[in-house]
Structure 1
Amino acid sequence: MRSVEELVAELGRKGGVARTAWVTEQGFSRRRVDDAVRRGAVIRPRRGWLADPHAERTLLAAARFGVVLTCRTQAALLGLWVHDPSGPPHFAVPPHSRGRLPIAARLHWGSAVVPRHPDALVDPIENVLAHIAECEPFERALATWESALNRALVTVEALRNHDWRPAARRVLDHALPFADAGLETYLRVRLRWLREPIRVQIWIAGHRVDTLIGERLVVQIDGAHHVGAQRSEDIRHDAELRLQGFHVIRVSYPQVMFEWPSVQDLIMRAVAHGLHRSR
């Protein structure tokens, strides 16, 4: 007879939460399951479901309330760029739902782009993106979509085969797969009025640069990891770029997020001086 420890390990394969029927199919008897529940190694979030009590809390909530993780909650769990992952969890609810949960949550209705399996606790990526487009402002939604494209969770070509609502169609029309982080998307969107070529994540002098405006103006965005050896390499690469005739503007995450007018003013003045053009 398979052990309780094996049962917990099998639940781990399903993210820590699974249907009781699936557990039975893996060879665990009802007696073993009841024993695991009595010992506290496994819990029953809802009839017909079993879970590791240490499973991700929003996944446990999805099983407990019969809903599906979606929108920015699931996007964050997938490691995608999300402007603000804090706040209540986002769930997709079935059409017959009463529309209320006993916890703070953001609920999403509407038909799914990709049908959901009855046992699913998390939405397919296409559904996640569809809800992001409806729920988040355009700039933030675009950053999450481009993060999904950059990580190859979806492709532009495949996305174009779906029937999207207007908000999602607008995001798809602007989405590119090159942005490595949401701030690069923000930079491109916020500066498109300049009507200058803006390219992200291109190779110059042996390294990628975050953004190239025109032919010669490089804008680099420093995150929290730009310290120590990384900072030394940044300084070396900046010097190499300057030797090759590029102009470098380096800004921080907080500047882009919270001090955008000053960043925009700096870039505008650099463009006014012609620093984006080849001499």
Structure 2
Amino acid sequence: METHGISEHTRSRLVADGVLERVGRSWLTLPGTDPELCAATEAGAVLTCITAARRLGLWQVTELMPHLAVPAGGRRRIARAHLHWASPAVPRHPDTLVDPIENVLVLVAQCRPYEEALAIWESALRRGMVAKQALERLALPPAARRLCAEASAWSDSGLESPVIPRLRWLRLPIRQQIWIAGHRVDFLIGDRLVLQVDGGTHVGPQREEDIRHDAELALLGYHVIRVGRGQVVNRWHEVQDLIMRAVAQGLHRVA
């Protein structure tokens, strides 16, 4: 909470009584306040990039230390933090402690590898936290401009985000979240090749429903390739090989 309108005497008494705690030069907090917000306040910085993305519930990537934005013109060094000095795409209010979503995405685009950044961007679009049309109207740096052009709201998770960029070289139409036989499929390559990407929820009843739907797709003339998280993250060459061989056999075309 800000200290405007509260006398120094009252502030000192509330702190002495343990009702409030002093953070930085002009902030008072209740005991137990979010430690990340307190750290940002004390540092005179703003939580941003993948730290803010995590707090928003977006697709998570490895975060070794907090990412902080330093106000324009600031030169303060903060230990054990990744600092961002770039001017924000959307002006920051002087009292804000967490960057607006637009600034978060711009810094993610500049800070993280393309596929990680794409997963976070698509997570934000999917959750409706920002509109692509609004992002397009901003003065975006090149990395963010590229992501704005290529990101979509159709990826159901960050596991799906890198699939289309990795398969673009095939020069085949690839559509996401297409309804076939009463259910959505993750990707439809060409007219008949279905790629399903399973995350950690595809177990138990969900797994049985997946098997039933795969059988129904086969009866309708579709060929289904179903892969798991480990293959997408660590063994993409296996997935690509399966797709290449299926395309070579014409399984993506109507018989």
**Aligned partner of 2:48 among 64, 67, 70:** 70
Q: Find the residue that maps to 2:21 and give its secondary structure.
A: coil
Alpha-carbon distance between aligned partners in 2 of 1:271 and 1:207, rounded to the nearest angstrom: 23
What residue identity is the alignment partner of 1:56?
D
Which residue does 1:198 correspond to in 2?
A: 174
**Aligned partner of 2:17 among 30, 38, 42:** 38
Is contact 1:184-1:200 (8 Å) kept? no
Which residue does 1:108 correspond to in 2?
A: 84
Cα distance change, pair 43–195 in 1 and its aligned pair in 2 (3 A):
same
* 2:204 maps to 1:228: yes
What residue identity is the alignment partner of 2:53?
A
- Kindly state the Cα deviation for residue 107 of structure 1 after the two structures are TM-superposed: 0.5
- Kindly state the Cα deviation for residue 51 of structure 1 after the two structures are TM-superposed: 2.7
**Residues 50-89 of structure 1: matches in 2 within 5 Å?**
50-82=28-60, 84-89=61-66
Cα distance change, pair 57–206 in 1 and its aligned pair in 2 (3 A):
farther
Identity %: 55
Cα distance change, pair 233–42 in 1 and its aligned pair in 2 (3 A):
farther
Cα distance change, pair 114–258 in 1 and its aligned pair in 2 (3 A):
same
Say which is worse superposed, 160-169 or 47-56, in terms of deviation.
47-56
Cα distance change, pair 252–57 in 1 and its aligned pair in 2 (3 A):
farther
Which residue does 1:94 correspond to in 2?
A: 71
What residue identity is the alignment partner of 2:192?
R
What is the TM-score normalised by the length of structure 2? 0.92
Alpha-carbon distance between aligned partners in 1 of 2:47 and 2:248, rounded to the nearest angstrom: 47
Superimposed CA distance per residue, residues 72-131 of structure 1 (whole angstroms, 9 cap, x where no aligned partner): 11111111123x2421111110133234113x1110012111000111001111111110
In structure 1, the gaps of 5 or more residues are 1-17
Q: Find the residue that maps to 2:162 and give its secondary structure.
A: helix
Is contact 1:76-1:85 (8 Å) kept? no
Alpha-carbon distance between aligned partners in 2 of 1:21 and 1:222, rounded to the nearest angstrom: 52
Alpha-carbon distance between aligned partners in 2 of 1:88 and 1:118, rounded to the nearest angstrom: 23
Is contact 1:198-1:213 (8 Å) kept? yes
